A and B are shown apart, each in its own frame.
Chain A
Amino acid sequence: MDPHATTFGVASRKMAMWVFIASECMFFGSLIATYLAYEGRSMVGPTPREILNIPLTSVSTFVLLMSSLAMVLALDAVQHGDRRMARVWLGGVIVLGALFLGGQVYEFTEFYHEGLTLQRNLFGATFFVLTGFHGAHVTVGVIWMLTLLVMSLGGKLGPERSLDVEVAGLYWHFVDVVWIVIFTVVYLIQ
């Protein structure tokens, strides 16, 4: 009998990521719930309506969505042992992720100049903490993808290690899906 066989036939690392994602849902759920609970309770401006730039954020949302497509293609390439395309698509995920983060940095800076800070009002506090923690998750994801890219460039990311990419991909898609919820709740439904 294979000593490394698992009860469900699913790799334990993959199951662990799913379990961790369940936990993360509660984390972002609490942040989003707080944002909603405090919506409209700020004593002073700026308000979301005055400051949120929907066209700009729509573009960065599109960028993040496309990064998930690149992620899927990267995993496919690694599974089929296509090292060149694996590097291309992993690089794509990194570039798109970095673009999204750049957009967030730009947005935060703009808001700061328009008078919205963490301390200014409840909108500022809940907005920056919610989107900031999401941004931190994207940053971790980008560093993770960079690590995989370096592994691939060193010839250490063959099909036998596709699970590494699959687990990273689960995380990436989750962070992406959370952004869809945040974008909808914070930007679209005001």
Chain B
Amino acid sequence: MSNAIAASALHAPEPIYSGGLKSWLATVDHKRIGIMYGVAAMIYFVVGGVEALIIRAQLAAADGTVVGADTFNQLFTMHGTTMVFLVLMPLSAALFNYMIPLMIGARDVAFPRLNAFSFWTFLFGSILLNLSFFIGSPPDAGWFGYANLTSKQYSPGLGIDFWLLSVQVMGVASIASAVNFTVTILNMRAPGMSIMRMPLFVWMALVVQVLMLLAFPPITVAFIFLLFDRFFGTHFYIPSAGATPILWQHLFWIFGHPEVYILILPSFGVVSEVLPTFSRKPLFGAPFVIFSVADTAFSLATMLIAIPTGVKIFNWIGTLWGGHIHFKTPLYFAVGMVGLFIIGGLSGIMHSSPPVDIQQHDSYFVVAHLHYVFFGGSVFGLFAGIYYWWPKITGRMMGEGLGKLHFWLMLIGMNLTFFPMHFLGLDGMPRRIYTYASDLGWERWNLVATVGAFVIALSILVFFVNALRSLKTGAKATGDPWDAATLEWTMSSPPPEYNFAVVPQVNSARPYWLHKYGPTRTISTRTKAQGTPAQPDHPPERVDLPSPSGWPILAAFGLTLFAGGALVGLPVVLGGAAVLVFAVYRWAFQPLERPGHPSFGPATAEAR
């Protein structure tokens, strides 16, 4: 493979970056972009985790003195913002980037350079947010930034500006990647992969993209209003001028409600791939799951949401029922996700009852609920995905022993941390208080929660040990280590740069199982034709790939400078805009495939 690149590079007027830092900065390969999303998300997972540990250390006992009230406010704001925008969304994006083209039989996404732009914009935006630790002060008004707490009058510092501008920049990244992946999933599928034959993970991803497309503009508008209030002295959220701060809550939650599905559906998608693979059975009632997802996304009422979610839970259990279950680490995490999500789901439905909602509003009960959904639901599901696809991405197996240790520690730690919060909330402990008096009777469960948080931290440490050991000395993975059903397993691990040597012909929802076992295992498949075979080692025909490009990263840098410049002065804003426009023009007039682009197969050998 690298020989082929070197060979074509001989004729190249422009260099092909086959290795080194430059090759990553200019890459347009969805697999490399996926890896970069994953690494960035894991780093921020540690950052957000440390913020959480400090919060828990402060609350471990009454009258805590680890941090002061101001720092505490900054910590929970940054913890929430980091975990939502810098961990869960990019970690989902990592799996989307790497897996979707492989699962639908494509050689890349529809717009490879836009994909690179999305990643770099996300990365620069996230760096801008965390710069607030070093310049000025971090934001301290909560991850939902309610107006008019965030108005200049009540939050005069730079923190809120950092928060607004960086989340705005990351919003651009989300919309760009949503456009890209919507088109990729709709328009780049291999022949024969009808919409109902798409893997469930891809289905969930499609719904997530549509939600991002429609949910991010309202919050963008809400942010624009607040920026105008803070920078230009308008009164969008100032009650004395006749405005209502409720406007922020409407616009924010028009975004916020779909956002929770944006955060949970990727995990649902992973579980819907992992359970069938390790139960050796197709997903029970797959079309029902698909329709229930589409329905979930548009349910507005808290109680109605229980119906499509219940459908999915029963389908997952139905998948395990009577299966030949292989107890591997990904399955542990997937089953853990289903169980924990049920708890989080049930404590959520309670809030559709107004008396209960009023009682529990802004109490630790809500903190317990949302962590069961986001940690028990999203994080467990995403770890199932990491363990499941790790061999495909790295070419090496993870240690099963350490993987299961990670699971058990995380399961115990998670329940120790968050289950007692139900009791604390019902006992009246409000969210976001930085300390509490000793005579309130909250000390015992707070201490338990803090111990649990450190157990979670230990489990994550085990994960990192496992990952590093796997990269160094892990057993080599075959192309199909789990004997799975979907297209990404038909090629070597890690996949070649061009993904598919031959564009696959798909005639089943489980094309690789159909090939390996014939129609008996593919219950819902009507066709008797043979399934998609494993990929050959070398492409029989010439395969052309897009050239690396440095313009997306420059455009992303210009955009971030344009936004972040508002904190410095007009010249920086204009400079950023100039860089952005320059990079976009160079990008627009640069052909996707230029002389010397990576190409593989017989035609390349001929050119040699």
Contact = CB atoms under 8 A, between A and B. Distances in A.
B7 interface: no
Interface in B207-255: 213-218, 220-222, 224-225, 228, 232-236, 241-243, 247, 251, 254
A23 B212 CA distance: 9
A7 B183 CA distance: 10
A30 B218 contact: yes
A119 B234 contact: yes
A189 interface: no
A26 B187 contact: no
A8 B187 contact: yes
A22 B213 contact: yes
B183 A16 contact: yes
A125 B187 contact: no
B117 to A, nearest CB: 13
Interface in A114-131: 118-119, 121-122, 125-126, 129
Interface in A13-35: 15-16, 19-20, 22-24, 26-27, 29-31, 34
A87 to B, nearest CB: 19
Contact of A125 (B107, B188, B234): B234
B300 interface: no
Given A1-B503, A122-B241, A19 B213 contact: yes
A41 B220 contact: no
Interface residues of B, number: 42
A129 B227 CA distance: 12
Given A26-B218, A31-B221, A34-B221, A122 B186 contact: no
B236 A42 contact: no
B187 A15 contact: yes
B502 to A, nearest CB: 10
A147 B588 CA distance: 11
B467 interface: no
Contact of B187 (A12, A31, A42, A119): A12
Interface in B503-519: 503
Contacts of B235: 119, 121-122, 125
B243 A41 contact: yes
B111 A16 contact: yes
A38 interface: yes
A83 B245 CA distance: 54
Contacts of A125: 228, 234-236
A14 to B, nearest CB: 9
A125 B227 CA distance: 12
A134 to B, nearest CB: 13
B180 interface: yes
Interface SS majority for chain A: helix
B179 interface: yes
B182 interface: yes
Nearest to A133: B224
Interface string B286-308: 00000000000000000000000
Residue among A3, A6, A34 facing the most chain B CB atoms (10 A cut-off): A34
Given A26-B214, A118-B233, A118-B234, A43 B186 contact: no
A121 B218 CA distance: 22
Residue among A6, A12, A30 facing the most chain B CB atoms (10 A cut-off): A30
Contacts of A12: 110-111, 183, 187-188
A143 to B, nearest CB: 9
Nearest to A9: B187
Contact of A43 (B178, B187, B242): B242
A115 to B, nearest CB: 15
A16 B217 contact: no
B217 A30 contact: yes
B233 A119 contact: yes
Contact of A22 (B186, B188, B214): B214
Interface residues of A, number: 34
B460 to A, nearest CB: 35
Residue among B215, B217, B228, B254 facing the most chain A CB atoms (10 A cut-off): B217
Nearest to A118: B234
A34 B110 contact: no
Contacts of B585: 147
Contacts of B232: 118-119
A7 B213 contact: no
A183 to B, nearest CB: 20
Given A1-B503, A6-B188, A129-B225, A34 B247 contact: yes
A1 B178 CA distance: 28
B221 A30 contact: yes
Contacts of A147: 585
B187 A19 contact: no
A118 B228 contact: yes
B187 A10 contact: yes
A27 B187 contact: no
Nearest to A22: B213
A7 B193 CA distance: 9
Contacts of B222: 30
A6 B234 contact: no
B189 interface: yes
B178 A23 contact: yes
A36 to B, nearest CB: 11
B225 A34 contact: yes
Nearest to B190: A7
B191 interface: yes
B187 A7 contact: yes
A74 B116 CA distance: 33
Interface in B83-110: 107, 110
10 closest residue pairs by CB, A with B: A27-B217, A26-B217, A30-B221, A125-B234, A41-B242, A12-B110, A6-B187, A30-B218, A23-B213, A7-B189
Interface of A: 1, 3, 6-8, 10, 12, 15-16, 19-20, 22-24, 26-27, 29-31, 34, 37-38, 41-43, 118-119, 121-122, 125-126, 129, 133, 147
29 contacts: A1-B191, A1-B503, A3-B107, A7-B186, A7-B193, A10-B187, A12-B188, A15-B186, A15-B187, A19-B213, A20-B179, A22-B213, A23-B178, A26-B214, A27-B217, A27-B218, A27-B220, A30-B221, A30-B251, A31-B221, A34-B221, A38-B242, A42-B241, A118-B232, A119-B233, A119-B234, A122-B242, A129-B228, A129-B234
